Amino acid sequence: AQSVTQLGSHVSVSEGALVLLRCNYSSSVPPYLFWYVQYPNQGLQLLLKYTSAATLVKGINGFEAEFKKSETSFHLTKPSAHMRDAAEYFCAVSDRFSGGYNKLIFGAGTRLAVHP
Amino acid sequence: DVKVTQSSRYLVKRTGEKVFLECVQDMDHENMFWYRQDPGLGLRLIYFSYDVKMKEKGDIPEGYSVSREKKERFSLILESASTNQTSMYLCASSPSGPISTMQYFGPGTRLTVT
């Protein structure tokens, strides 16, 4: 069965510093991978997705992620954190139901705090 | 602009009550999902529907049921609410198609069972 592990339930950075949120997956087949963001009191919003094209994926709000098959990782980065980036971030892998329907398996989430 | 709406943002119910959570999407999507979100556990899939009147159990279906009578509406039902069902409930939808298809989420309903 596929699974997702997010290392670090809480990450704190200073404004302007590099953001690195870690995600490792296990999958027996080439995965499709996603990063979602959840701002306070809101639903989840897609940041970016990897679907076996380019290994470096660029998303919204300056975020990007690199798929590394050898490390089974899909870490999320942003060169310079902004206060508005404070949110919870979820990594997810796409899994196939029996019958061919897709579902997402989510990691536990990482809460990002950004300090002035 | 795509939109998934949920009937309530906050809900307080008593133990033993029957609870209905409603979700509506305006994108003509075939697939709809109900998740619960708990701290440290991420999102866990409760039920999934891939067509009107069709449903599949997710990872934690116990204590829940669902209804999909119309394509745009997917309801989650707690037959007899219990305190361990206090949680954030998120609805999502997606079109049918390749496995890479993303899901669109509603704003969530925070349910408290007392």
Give the tens place of pLDDT for each residue, A59-98. Answer: 999 999 999 989 999 999 999 999 999 999 999 988 765 5
Min Cα distance B18 → chain A (Å) is 24
Please state, in angstroms and rounded to a whole number, the distance separating the CA atoms of residues A22 and A45.
Answer: 18
Residues of chain B with C-beta less than 8 angstroms from the C-beta of A97: 48, 56
Q: From residue A64, how far is each of A61, A75, B7, B55 by CA, in Å?
A: 9, 8, 34, 35
On chain B, the residues whose CB falls within 8 A of the CB of A103 are: 33, 45, 48, 58
pLDDT in tens, chain B (114 residues): 668 999 999 999 999 999 999 999 999 999 999 999 998 899 999 999 988 989 999 999 999 999 999 999 999 999 999 999 999 999 999 988 766 678 999 999 999 999
Closest C-alpha to B27, from B5, B44, B8: B5
CB-CB contact of A74 with A65 (8 Å): yes
Q: Give the closest residue to A35 by CA, choosing from A81, A79, A80, A73.
A: A73
The pLDDT score that the predictor gives to residue A27 is 77
The tally of CA atoms less than 13 A away on the side-chain side of residue B38 is 11
| Cβ contact, residue pair B48, A101, below 8 Å | yes
CB contact under 8 A, B102 and A46: yes
3-state secondary structure (DSSP) of residue B90: strand
Q: Taking CB atoms and an 8 Å cutoff, what residues of chain A touch B31? A: 101-102
pLDDT in tens, A27-60: 777 788 999 999 988 889 999 999 877 889 999 9
